[in-house]
Chain A
Amino acid sequence: MTMTEDEKNLDEMFATARENRPLLSDDLTVRILTDAEQVRLNQIKAADRPRRSYWARVLDGIGGWHSFGGLVAASAAGVWIGFAAPDFLPDPATYIYQQEAGLALADLDTSFLEGAE
């Protein structure tokens, strides 16, 4: 297939276009590198984050030192109430024990006593 005049012209135009490919202006180079630097710094910051200590992350999980103080106080109160309940509260230990004793008596099979009479 022979090349037509138009195609030959076109190939010349492509060659000229290849020779005159645009270069990056200084301004555009700076814009691109500023973006790169910003992304790079963000990535470094993100990579640093999981390096915090185990306890620091646990504290973050429950809402920081402030919440941790409240949590400690509430837990201590709970332990104290279980240990020595104030008079106005029923003592849970005795309550459970009595219930179990009552059940044990009710379930007792007394039929053998009837037969003996």
Chain B
Amino acid sequence: MEALTSSSTSIRSQSRAADMPSDDTLLGLFAQGDAAAARILTDRLGPRCLSVAMRMLGNRAEAEDVTQDAMMRLWKVAPDWVSGQAKVSTWLYRVTMNLCVDHLRKNKPDRLADVPEPEDGSPSVADRMQDEARKDALQLALEQLPERQRQAVILRHIEELPNPEIAGVMGISVEAVESLTARGKRALAGILAGRREELGYDDDRR
């Protein structure tokens, strides 16, 4: 692993002098056996996967597993990747989103409210409650949105992807993306407004 790190720094300093190689080029280099390319791709794309997964799942450990899984799929697809056909990041966002959705569906009955007793090996209710408490208001509101709206809002407003790219990630039209983000944002504002009143935040404000 040490050799891997040092060789990647040399590539990185070279590439800073010239133009940064595209994700496409790096994936091609990795397929040809270049280990340093994997390091740069991880630095570049790993945090994006993690960010999306954290907002989709609201849990760091699960989001890390999803990120590792998504990146694994990237390494495996490298030899068959057709350069210029699709954006690597779009493909990876799509894979990450699908993994998150699978994860949410699999773990649905396992969520805090539905679990009467802690089982052996699973996080205790106290741990789960602490997890919940650590979430910011935005996260709690996002988790109340329907899946597709949540995806669209995260990609648009947290990842700041342009609508055509979101359309590519979600496999829908640009119009559908616009409608989902608009409805999602309205719903979020409503949830947060309700929550503020419920928590008495309004009294504290001026």
Contact = CB atoms under 8 A, between A and B. Distances in A.
A62 interface: no
Interface stretch (A12-20, A51-59, A85-93, A108-116): A12-20
- How many chain B residues sit at the interface, stated as a range, is 35 or more
Interface size class of A (residues with CB under 8 A): 20 to 34
Contacts of B138: 10, 13-14, 16-17
Contact of A37 (B4, B31, B76): B4
For the residues of A in contact with B, the DSSP-based class is helix
Contacts, number: 98
B160 interface: yes
Given A35-B75, A43-B31, A43-B33, A30 B189 contact: no
B79 A43 contact: yes
A67 interface: no
Query: Binding site of B, secondary structure by majority: helix, strand, loop or mixed?
Result: helix
Given A22-B51, A37-B35, A37-B38, A28 B46 contact: yes
Interface string B55-93: 100001001100110011001101100000000000000
Interface of A: 4, 6-7, 9-10, 13-14, 16-18, 21-25, 28-37, 39-40, 43-44
